[in-house]
Structure 1
């Protein structure tokens, strides 16, 4: 078994070694490949996970899973590792895992953005949003505050600077905390707060915050409603302009067997579904209802609320986000796609009734006190650092302290990591097991006369979702119907029927009501039938096959 721990975070070289170790130890289940290169030339690793003895991966329904598209959000790579470990160790003992790998396939990309993660995990970390490519300009900024670990302790905290016009003051009931100065308050001791860092070209008066040279947000670079920089900062030069995003888009569009997609981020402790830019009223009704059912199951298993990006996760009530992975996967690929925000410090501290994106802007002091108690009792004081003096090269005598966001907020602290990772495997297994699954219901031969035979093939969808997955896929004609074929023996002729027949879609069970009524009926819309009339020598064999790009491939052979 690969030497992997779930109480630490791995840099690129270690992660690469671990992933290849899994593939070497479990070749019957895992294949590894690079699907592209990052901006700095690192491989973007992709693991194909299935029981290869039961068929090729592209002939099985698949679920896409990825993580770490944003630089600081490294816990998602651990989510993928933990899930990989679950699959290979539970096969043969857990019936759902066994059925999943025998009949279906996972495509797992643990680290979409290896360059950004290396900066976040370095000994003296640098915090950027995503890729390390200079954007929107190539020249180095040379003015203002540069966020960095200025005292070399491996953390980036806050600096507090005495300032009579400062907006902050020391909390009167808990001196470690900083609270807002009242609107009309005067006569106290006030402070200005800045991210830890150095000042370039400081004139002794004005402090600007220098924008990072690396201004990209890879999760704004997908083709779904992509907008230019003036509309949405960080979106890139054009849709899929970034190699990391282009690699994902190329892989997904060339693997039509993918039936769903889940991208892991941090933090908030929620399961987010599209749309980002419009109301639920714009959804095809059946897709919204199915999304809600999948989300309900996700909440039941993980404990994370399932929410709408547009209705419950907007940073600006008059603006919205576009160019995201999940919007693209739903709108352009017709998949049920989710963004999972791993970890909620608030919930860990006992804060349960809060608005996910609004909390930073406005919350009661009691929440900060709960978080501080959580830090003291559960984190042994490592999450919130008491203010300590520092002689700043430009600002003079200041203090550094406050939350170590990389340790306690952006990702689960290492000692809490495995518990958080354990929330997800059951839902990821369930999410793939609901995919459509093509199976043979009946295959038969009936002799009509001398050397003349009727050959019949009936296939069915045994999965919960329909073969087309979403109404959006039908609306946009993103998926073909089931294709049935017959291969004749030498000398045989096809008297009736086509050698290849393209039929329709196969229904699933996802639209059924919670209880039957007197009007309930279950037509066999989950089955398709095709017949051929064949003239051939008795005892010869015909080969039959049916394939659906999302529901899989089945084959059989009949003797005439």
Structure 2
């Protein structure tokens, strides 16, 4: 058997290296890990899903499932690291005798993890190129394929592998040097005049420069894969980067097809960067419009996430809008609002928090914040990042603009992603919370079977099952509202072509009730007792005619709670 790989969590893997790493896990632990392609990217790269479960206890589609993905946005590479860290912890903890080992072993015995470390391999490859470009998402030209004929295209112009800012002296510029810290550029005050001012321009080359004006081009690759999901999809004029139609992009279509064909998925997390925050639905409506029971459930699990990780857990609608008049839709709408499965977005990494900057305004902070925050961040760069988060301004002769200086914040390597030394620490916050979510998923278990003779060749057969999970078998009320899930499906499997065996009462396949989990419906001090204290149990019953000694197969299934299979002997 192949040896288990030792991944590096302080580096970002190119696609070929990532592929080799994932298959190394599958080769070393074929009983726990398999790797499948769920589709091809725009440029033809495989999109890998890692399937993690103990196959000795059943196949993956028979078990309740937890989904996680990362790197849907091109330069948000730490999201892939978060998935790889969880993968490595699961496989190295399985079978161990300590508390974590017992937890992971039970998890992989009873559930399945579907993991896509890099949903957007093309965009990540561009971000990791020797001369990188940091686009939002897919590399497909959109909405038009035309190359720009003029204007500035953001890219690395001095060949140092970074994309920074160009500083150009200009009496009409809107920026100036901080009085006490000249490396730091601050906004020119209203009505201010007579000082030394600068124009700040993103690093890049300029086509057809007229010597006077510079227009920064939008990325030719204008798609945002996270806006391409089916639920609440809106055209370009309402939602930039959404694509020509829902799931038009192969990366999104691969995820949609996989999840739609795996109804055992009851909860999911999508990893992004950055802000250091856990985001919960809804994205397109307020908490007041949410189903109350689902909101209570989300708040409970989000609080557990905040406790486990140290990240605040907030609402997308109420606290994380790019603009107060905008609505953000994406994966969370499709997985929760459309499919009724639990879903969170995790925005990994907060340089603000590292620098001691208190930020409770999230997106609004980037529009405007006190200069004291910038000074704290600059101090953090100097003392903790070797002066590399904010790069000193260096003279450069630009081929179109002439003499400029290049420097400022390195947004890719210290803002979008943590510096290498902090990446493992950052992603190590999340496995415990993911384990808790996955172990809370509904799980169908066999209670018992009963066979009672009613005559020489007639028998009453009963199959009793229970949901041993915390969550109900349907997971959310949204799933019931949208008619996504059925109740427990009981089946008796009669051999065909045997006239001695027939069904007298009951159906070969019949739908039972929805099963609740063991989550209490109210506090112990509630004045109203529960109406049904065994709502986690259900029984299927049949009467059959068959010779004594016949063996019959029975099964019960619930889309999100798994499958139970057993046999009875008519004795």
- TM-score, normalised on structure 1? 0.98
Alignment partner for residue 552 of structure 2, among 542, 546, 557? 542
Gaps of 5+ in 1: none
- Alpha-carbon separation, structure 1, partners of 2:524 and 2:420: 45
- 1:375-414 aligned within 5 A: 375-414=381-420
Alignment partner for residue 217 of structure 2, among 210, 214, 224? 210
Give yes or no for contact 1:148–1:197 (8 Å, CA) kept in 2. Answer: yes
- Alpha-carbon separation, structure 2, partners of 1:216 and 1:299: 31
TM-superposed CA distance for 1:516, in Å, is 4.1
Alignment partner for residue 356 of structure 1, among 344, 357, 362? 362
Give yes or no for contact 1:199–1:394 (8 Å, CA) kept in 2. Answer: yes
Give yes or no for contact 2:165–2:406 (8 Å, CA) kept in 1. Answer: yes
- Alpha-carbon separation, structure 1, partners of 2:104 and 2:418: 26
SS in 2 for 1:360: helix
TM-superposed CA distance for 1:496, in Å, is 1.9
TM-superposed CA distance for 1:452, in Å, is 3.0
Give yes or no for contact 2:135–2:221 (8 Å, CA) kept in 1. Answer: yes
C-alpha RMSD of the superposition: 1.3
Alignment partner for residue 105 of structure 1, among 92, 99, 112? 112
- Alpha-carbon separation, structure 2, partners of 1:24 and 1:528: 41
CA, structure 1 residues 527+516, in 2 after alignment: closer, same or farther (shift >3 Å)? Answer: farther
TM-superposed CA distance for 1:178, in Å, is 0.6
- 1:233-248 aligned within 5 A: 233-248=240-255
Give yes or no for contact 1:141–1:211 (8 Å, CA) kept in 2. Answer: no
1:448 aligns with 2:434: no
- 1:79-98 aligned within 5 A: 79-93=82-96, 94-98=101-105
TM-superposed CA distance for 1:68, in Å, is 0.4
- Alpha-carbon separation, structure 1, partners of 2:528 and 2:299: 24
Q: Deviations over 1:455-511 (max 9, x none)?
A: 111111111111111111111111122111123475233222222221121011335
Q: In structure 2, what is the equivalent of residue 524 of structure 1?
A: 534
TM-superposed CA distance for 1:175, in Å, is 1.3
TM-superposed CA distance for 1:389, in Å, is 1.0
Q: In structure 2, what is the equivalent of residue 122 of structure 1?
A: 129
- Alpha-carbon separation, structure 1, partners of 2:452 and 2:366: 71
1:271 aligns with 2:278: yes
- Alpha-carbon separation, structure 2, partners of 1:513 and 1:479: 24
- 1:130-141 aligned within 5 A: 130-141=137-148
TM-superposed CA distance for 1:383, in Å, is 1.1
- Alpha-carbon separation, structure 1, partners of 2:511 and 2:260: 21
1:513 aligns with 2:519: no
TM-superposed CA distance for 1:514, in Å, is 3.7
- Alpha-carbon separation, structure 2, partners of 1:223 and 1:438: 30
Q: In structure 2, what is the equivalent of residue 424 of structure 1?
A: 430
SS in 2 for 1:358: helix
- Alpha-carbon separation, structure 1, partners of 2:525 and 2:94: 36
- Alpha-carbon separation, structure 1, partners of 2:358 and 2:126: 32
Alignment partner for residue 497 of structure 1, among 493, 506, 509? 506
1:435 aligns with 2:441: yes
Q: In structure 1, what is the equivalent of residue 306 of structure 2?
A: 299
How many pairs are equivalent?
559
Give yes or no for contact 1:488–1:541 (8 Å, CA) kept in 2. Answer: no
Q: In structure 2, what is the equivalent of residue 48 of structure 1?
A: 51
Give yes or no for contact 1:28–1:51 (8 Å, CA) kept in 2. Answer: yes
- 1:10-21 aligned within 5 A: 10-21=13-24
Alignment partner for residue 553 of structure 1, among 552, 560, 563? 563
TM-superposed CA distance for 1:127, in Å, is 1.3
- TM-score, normalised on structure 2? 0.96
Alignment partner for residue 71 of structure 1, among 69, 74, 79? 74
Q: In structure 2, what is the equivalent of residue 282 of structure 1?
A: 289
TM-superposed CA distance for 1:549, in Å, is 1.4
SS in 1 for 2:302: helix
- Alpha-carbon separation, structure 1, partners of 2:361 and 2:341: 28
Give yes or no for contact 1:286–1:511 (8 Å, CA) kept in 2. Answer: no
- Alpha-carbon separation, structure 2, partners of 1:518 and 1:361: 49
Gaps of 5+ in 2: none
Alignment partner for residue 173 of structure 2, among 166, 177, 198? 166
- Alpha-carbon separation, structure 1, partners of 2:72 and 2:182: 37
- Alpha-carbon separation, structure 2, partners of 1:252 and 1:99: 24
Q: In structure 2, what is the equivalent of residue 255 of structure 1?
A: 262
Alignment partner for residue 9 of structure 1, among 6, 9, 12? 12
- Alpha-carbon separation, structure 1, partners of 2:136 and 2:126: 11
